[in-house]
Structure 1
Amino acid sequence: MKKTTMTLCVSALTLAFATEAMATEWNVSVWGKRRAFTEHLHKLAELVEEKTNGEFTMNISYGGLSKNTENLDGISIGAFEVAQFCAGYHADKNRAITVLELPFLGVSNLDEEVAVSHAVYDHPAVADEMAQWNARMLMTSPMPQYNLVGTGEPRDELSKFDGMRVRATGGLGRAFEAVGGVPTSVTSSEAYQAMESGVVDTVAFAQHAHLSFGTINEADWWTANLNPGTVNCPVVVNIDAYDALSDEEREALDSSVPEAIDYYLENYGELLARWDEVLAEKDVEKVMISDAQLAEFKEVAMPIHQQWIDDMTSQGLPGQELYDLVNDTLEGDARVELSRSARRTG
């Protein structure tokens, strides 16, 4: 009887250990704090866990696994399975997707941002470049056009940008430089301190980041319609980890991407809808740039596009092809359908 009982106990323990061993647990590296910019990751984790009955879980860490500028490096060595990063943090590591950070691309809403991002992510040149970091594109983190917050007198004319120290990365930084600004690429987490200490005069962010990183609390004014462009921030997965998933787990992950993006867009839309209330609460002046000034800014910044194409081509990347892909995706009446398609396919 004792022998039978012991055998049953051993069998139960063996089964328990086997069940535990079969469970898949991934770590996700992000930074800052939970905000609109990371909501799709939380939704993705929730959906994946639901679809696998708790056998596939994702632990989201805010800064506990890596610096935001080193997330792609962490993915490359398998330090964690999923990470979010922004192209402008290390343009040399992800050259192909920096086409999405060119100024004045003509993206007018978040649906279009999803469409152009996923179209570019699907290009073989992007896949090849990411594979060098053992990374596979999973989904974008769509952000609206960046705008400035600043202190003192509003900078509502291009002449006032001359000498302006601005926190801006990538193509945005080059755009402000073209009109006399002095860009600095401090990380988002450092932006508030840089503004508070006077290292920068202005900070270019999307709305959620001005809130999350506190720059709106230092601001006297905000440019409502400058809209020079945005930063592109993909979510990537370690290729080895992705390939090691079972068919069921991979299906749960892939099928959850469009749902997570839809949730993100709905949540971000709520933030945009109450943005004017935020400005009023914090006594921040809403500054409108004239059409003439916007046209001049765009004209000055447009040569950056051709320079990007030439630079990428000289480095062996299909610069013109990637640039045309963005424009073709945005072209004509296909915009809405393309954005919907991108969200469905992830």
Structure 2
Amino acid sequence: MTKYLSGAAACALSLAFVTEAAATEWNVSVWGKRRAFTEHVEKLAELVSEKTGGEFTMNVSYGGLSKNRENLDGISIGAFEMAQFCAGYHRDKNRVVTVLELPFLGVENLEQEVAVSKAVYAHPAATDEMAQWNAKLLMTSPMPQYNLVGTGDPRSTLADFEGMRVRATGGLGKAFEAVGGVPTSVTATEAYQAMESGVVDTVAFAQHAHLSFGTINQADWWTANLNPGTVNCPVVVNIDAYESLSDKEREALDSSVDEALDHYLANYGALLEKWDSVLAEKGVQKVEIAPEVIAEFRAKAADPIRDAWIKDMEAQGLPGQELYDLVVKTLADAKGS
């Protein structure tokens, strides 16, 4: 009997080991704290775990695995399996997706932002460029058009933008530079300190980031309708990790992307609905920019920056014109539907 029990115990231990070994656990690198910007990542982890009965789990780390500017590097060496980053943090490493950061593209809502991002992410040029970093584009982190919060008197004309020190990355930074602004690309986590210390006068963020990183608490005013553009922040997975998933795990991951994005859009929509009450609560003046000022801004920033971007991409052997045309067509189709 003792011998039998020992054998049974050994079998149970062996089975437990096999079960544990078969489980897949991914580490996911994001930054800041849990907020609207990361809700799709959190939802994805929840869905994948549910669909695999807990056999495939994700540990979402807020800054514990890497600095935000180094997430793509971490993916490339397999330091973690999934990460979020923003294109403006290292434009030379993700040139293709920067087409989505060109100013005044005309994106009107988050659903349209998802549509154009999906189209660009699926383009072979984007796939090939990310493969150089052992990364696969999984989903976007759709954000509304950025707007400014600032200190002192409101800036409501292009003359007011002259000399304005603004936290703005990527195409947005170039847009403000085109009208006399002085952009700086400090990270999101550094923006509050930059504003508090006077390194910048204004910060360009989407609404969730003004809340999450505290810049709204430094603000005297907010531009409600400038809408010069937004940034593009992909979520990527390490290619080796993705390819080593079982068929069941890969299906659980792939099938959860759209569900996670739907959750993100619903959550962000709720935040936008209460934004005006947040401004009132914090005593922040809502500034409406005159249509003629926006038109002037667009004329000075949109066409020259777009043309320069296309020329630069083509010179590097990338299909700049094709990528821009893809965004325009996809956006037109999205608006038509």
User: Which TM-score applies when normalising by structure 1?
Assistant: 0.96
Q: Aligned partners of 2:297 and 2:80: how far apart in 1?
A: 41
Per-residue deviation, 1:89: 0.3
Partner-residue secondary structure (3-state), 2:203 = strand
Name 2:238's counterpart in structure 1. 238
Q: How many residues align?
A: 336
For 2:336 and 2:261, the matched residues in 1 are separated by 15
The 1-side partners of 2:25 and 2:336 are apart by 36
Per-residue Cα deviation, 1:295-319 (whole angstroms, up to 9, x for no partner): 0000000210000000000000000
Query: Is 2:54 the partner of 1:54?
Result: yes
**Cα distance in 1 between the residues matched to 2:260 and 2:286:** 32
In the TM superposition, what are the counterparts of 1:126-145 in structure 2 within 5 Å? 126-145=126-145
Shift of 1:99: 0.3
Partner of 2:317, secondary structure, is coil
User: 1:304 — aligned with what?
Assistant: 305
**What pairs up with 1:1-346 in 2 under 5 angstroms?**
1-302=1-302, 303-331=304-332, 334-335=334-335, 337=337
Letter in 2 for 1:291: P
Partner Cα separation in structure 1 for residue 64 and residue 42 of structure 2: 16
User: What is the distance in 2 between the residues matched to 1:146 and 1:26?
Assistant: 32
SS at match of 1:59: strand
Partner of 1:342: none
- Contact between 1:66 and 1:74, CA under 8 Å: does it hold in 2? yes
User: Could you tell me how far apart the structure 2 residues matched to 1:330 and 1:137 are?
Assistant: 20
Deviation at 1:331, TM superposition (A): 1.4
Distance between the aligned counterparts of 1:136 and 1:127, measured in 2? 7
User: Distance in 2 between the 1:155 and 1:101 partners?
Assistant: 23
Instruction: Kindly state the Cα deviation for residue 221 of structure 1 after the two structures are TM-superposed.
Output: 0.1
Q: State the secondary structure of the residue aligned to 1:136.
A: strand
Residue 336 of structure 1 deviates from its aligned partner by 5.8
Q: Matched residues in 2 for 1:271 and 1:158: separation?
A: 29
Counterpart of 2:58 in 1: which secondary structure?
Answer: strand
Per the TM alignment, residue 335 of structure 1 is displaced from its structure 2 partner at its CA by 2.8
* Partner-residue secondary structure (3-state), 2:227: coil
Q: TM-score normalized by structure 2? A: 0.99
Partner Cα distance (2:318, 2:5) in 1: 67
| Unaligned 5+ runs, structure 2 | none
CA contact (8 A) 1:191 1:203 kept: yes
Deviations 1:104-124 (A, max 9, x none): 000000000000001000000
Letter in 2 for 1:259: E
Contact 1:112–1:336 (CA under 8 A) maintained in structure 2:
no
Deviations 1:161-218 (Å, cap 9, x if unpaired)? Answer: 0000000000000000000000000000000000000000000000000000000000
Secondary structure at the aligned position of 1:172 is classed as helix
> What amino acid is aligned across from residue 304 of structure 1 in structure 2?
I
Aligned residue type for 1:315:
Q
Matches of 1:118 and 1:183 in 2, distance apart?
28
Give the percent of matched residue pairs that are identical in Structure 1 and Structure 2: 77
> How far off is 1:66 after superposition?
0.2
Q: What is the RMSD of the two structures over their aligned residues, measured on CA atoms?
A: 0.6
CA distance in 1: counterparts of 2:104 and 2:124, whole angstroms:
25
Amino acid in the other structure paired with 2:166: V
Conserved 8 A contact 1:167-1:183:
yes
